Structure 1
Amino acid sequence: MAMKKGSILFVAALVGYSAVILLIYYFESANESSNIKTLFDAFWYSLVTLTTVGYGDLYPTSIAGKMISMTMVLGSLGILGLFIGKLTEYIQALAERRKMGFDGTDFSNHVIIVGWNEFSEDVLTQLVHAGKKVCVITDNKDHIDFIYENFKKEQVFVVYSDMNCRECLKKANASEAVSLMPNFGDDAKNLVFVLNAKKYHPHLSFVVTIDNGELKETFTSAGVSFAVCRNDISSKIVASYIFEPSVARFNEDLLSSAADNKDYDIQQYYVKEGIKYAGMTYGAVFDDLKNTFNVLAIGVSRSNGQEQVLNKLPDSSFEVKSGDYIIVLTSGRCVKELNKQFDCSEGLYYAEHV
């Protein structure tokens, strides 16, 4: 209601301002001693007066013109204030709209995280370190400032929305995304969201962390690509720290993305048709990567039509084919060279070429 009232006042002020210009032109153009002869002259004079610039090149000489000008001068502060106020209001509303992500994002080949908490922050940090673009959907305005203060807008976009699946995913440009991670902190809510999102965006790879390991098969049946039980992973790491702490520390380091040249990481690279490794044996690929980049090829992942099958340290005679993924142990300093060698960056190939 307040916005509507303000719009009416603005229109009324604009109409009144136009009437003043016409009246000044009417009276001054008929006065021989006046230098306001055209409608443009009247507009220029009123504009200079309204903005308090006052060049003095044009001015009224008739009594009627002066009276009208006095009225305009007295009212100019109000009109100018109203105009500046409306302009400021519009700019603020536009900035707020962009901040809230109401107009959506043009990100493509990105990851969507639905729900925000400390775990989401940790996942986002790893994805950003890996050079991925991420859209975060949250229903809490307080999260927005925190996210933008800690992550660059070039890589992270935030959508403030209720968790209406279809609408919030539309703003997140889910049709151009590649992966989605619901993170509501509740297995049932995560499952419901996946089922709804799957109807509209079946192409997405759904990754879900679950608290109840017994539900893993349920999530898989619902179309989840990877259902990861937090307790399973944490228990294995804790047990490893108990009897082989050095190995555990090394494994934990490998689980995180390489943030700088000294960090080590396990990465996967797609074997495109035509690159040198397509058609080579695993042994030959291993030797080439080790001798050229000091990188260890530790496995080959191949699709069987339904899922990716991981071949860990296959025989030297194992043939690497186009469409496979080569799993490598590398350091951050080799990432750029590997991207060039494979003609794509690490991760799922369709994450960059949809």
Structure 2
Amino acid sequence: MRISNYKKLFLIGIAFLAFYIFLVFRLWGYEQYVQDAPIKNLSDAFWYSIVTLTTVGYGDIVPASEEGRIIGYIFLFLSIGIYGILIGQFSTVISNINENNKIGMHGTSFQNHIVVIGWTQFGKTVIDQLIRAGRKVAVVTKNRDNIDLLHELYDKKQVFILYSDYENFELLDKANIEHCSSVFINLENDTDKLVYILNIKKHFENLQFVVTLENANLKQTFINAGVKYAISKNEITSRLLASYMFEPDVAQYSEEILAYPIEETDYDIKQFRILKGNPFIKQEYDKSFYELKKMYNVILIGLVREENGQKTVHKNPQDNFIIQEGDFLMMIMNRAAESKIRKVFSIKEGI
């Protein structure tokens, strides 16, 4: 509600209060000259007015004069109007609260979540995968027509929806963007994405951006602009398509393993961090490889280690490579094995 509307309501309230007090004093003024009138003082006049306006109507006090009864009629009609206004205002307030909640104006407490700027069918496939992986998502859309659809598609415990102009960076705080793990810029074209990233970085310096590119030649440009991961959709599609042409079984397996598993027997590549107390700390890589396969039917395929502030991927390192606390182990596993690994590693997958 705008400030001008509050001011208008305040002035109406003051005017009604003044009119009400005027009527009460006039009622007392008329009744005090009537012998044996039930309204004997100002307190009785206020009591009668309140009982009448609230439609309680005890009937213990009534006006005795003709003028007093006319004022009583005014109180009766006022009570009808007041209740109508109150019911209308209450309905409006409830409606506004529901609408603001629907479009995300109350904000979210999500943390370490993914913020998606822009809603498209491609964005939906990405969000579906994130939800299956147990990640929470905040979707920002400037199209009001998308709101109802998004609420139908997703549970509010998993997906927060914010209706906002993308350039309204202050409103992005509603999506708790400063506490997200990454921001997926899902706008229409590469130019819009690049300009938007340069603008949003002026307001949020420490965000980690992910974009998909139509033009693979712009990848380095986006990296230089501060994007963490710039992925060319055409490049990925062309590689997979070529693979289907000369090694279709490998291509099919690759496609399946990139998607989040649904069935217990579905396989996926997952990444688990080595925390303090993990049984594989200070153990040789090859020995861990055999133990994971034998005990949990998990295939260790690589290790990620942070070195000089940068993450380095060691793809199936040589013998005598020692696993350290803070490393990430990359493994191929199905859902049945994942539940066992979570217990051993005492952590969920991901970074």
TM-score range, shorter chain: 0.7 to 0.9
Q: State the distance in 1 between where 2:21 and 2:157 align.
A: 44
TM-score (norm 1): 0.85
CA offsets, 1:146-196, max 9 Å, x none? 111101111111121112163243232221111011111211111122223
Query: Which SS does the other structure have where 2:226 is aligned?
Result: coil
The residue type equivalent to 1:274 in the other structure is G
Give 1:5-84 correspondences, 5 Å limit: 8-9=11-12, 11-13=14-16, 15-17=18-20, 34=38, 42=46, 49-50=52-53, 52=55, 54=56, 56=58, 58-60=60-62, 62-63=64-65, 66-84=69-87
Q: State the distance in 2 between where 1:255 and 1:58 align.
A: 80
Decide which of 102, 116, 119 is 1:116's aligned counterpart.
119
Per-residue deviation at 1:68? 3.0
Decide which of 219, 223, 228 is 1:220's aligned counterpart.
223
Q: Please, which runs of 5 or more residues in structure 2 have no aligned partner?
A: none
The residue type equivalent to 1:147 in the other structure is L
Give 1:313-324 correspondences, 5 Å limit: 313-324=316-327
Per-residue deviation at 1:284? 2.8
Partner in structure 2 of residue 332 of structure 1:
335
The residue type equivalent to 2:134 in the other structure is G
Q: State the distance in 2 between where 1:201 and 1:220 align.
A: 17
Query: Which SS does the other structure have where 2:169 is aligned?
Result: helix
Decide which of 101, 107, 112 is 2:110's aligned counterpart.
107
Contact 1:10 1:82 in 2 (8 A): no
Per-residue deviation at 1:76? 1.7
Partner in structure 2 of residue 171 of structure 1:
174
Query: Which SS does the other structure have where 1:299 is aligned?
Result: strand
CA offsets, 1:229-266, max 9 Å, x none? 00111111112222222222221121112334343221
Q: State the distance in 1 between where 2:325 and 2:202 align.
A: 31
Per-residue deviation at 1:211? 0.8
Contact 2:44 2:61 in 1 (8 A): no
Aligned residues: 346
Q: 1:41 to 1:233 in 2, by over 3 A?
A: farther
Tell me which moved more, 303-312 or 175-184. Answer: 303-312
| Root mean square deviation, CA, Å | 3.1
Partner in structure 2 of residue 296 of structure 1:
299
Partner in structure 1 of residue 210 of structure 2:
207
Contact 2:27 2:45 in 1 (8 A): no
CA offsets, 1:189-246, max 9 Å, x none? 1112222333433332211100111111111111111110001111111122222222
Q: 1:51 to 1:320 in 2, by over 3 A?
A: same
Query: Which SS does the other structure have where 1:127 is aligned?
Result: helix
Partner in structure 1 of residue 135 of structure 2:
132
Query: Which SS does the other structure have where 1:346 is aligned?
Result: coil
Q: 1:66 to 1:299 in 2, by over 3 A?
A: same
CA offsets, 1:13-49, max 9 Å, x none? 4554566567778888999774999959956x65664
Q: State the distance in 1 between where 2:19 and 2:295 align.
A: 77
Tell me which moved more, 6-15 or 303-312. Answer: 6-15
Q: 1:229 to 1:8 in 2, by over 3 A?
A: same
TM-score (norm 2): 0.86
Contact 1:50 1:80 in 2 (8 A): no
Q: Is 2:240 the counterpart of 1:234?
A: no
Partner in structure 2 of residue 259 of structure 1:
262
CA offsets, 1:312-352, max 9 Å, x none? 2223432111121111112223334333322221111xxxx
Query: Which SS does the other structure have where 2:116 is aligned?
Result: strand
Query: Which SS does the other structure have where 1:166 is aligned?
Result: coil
Query: Which SS does the other structure have where 2:201 is aligned?
Result: helix
Q: 1:266 to 1:42 in 2, by over 3 A?
A: farther
Q: 1:185 to 1:49 in 2, by over 3 A?
A: same
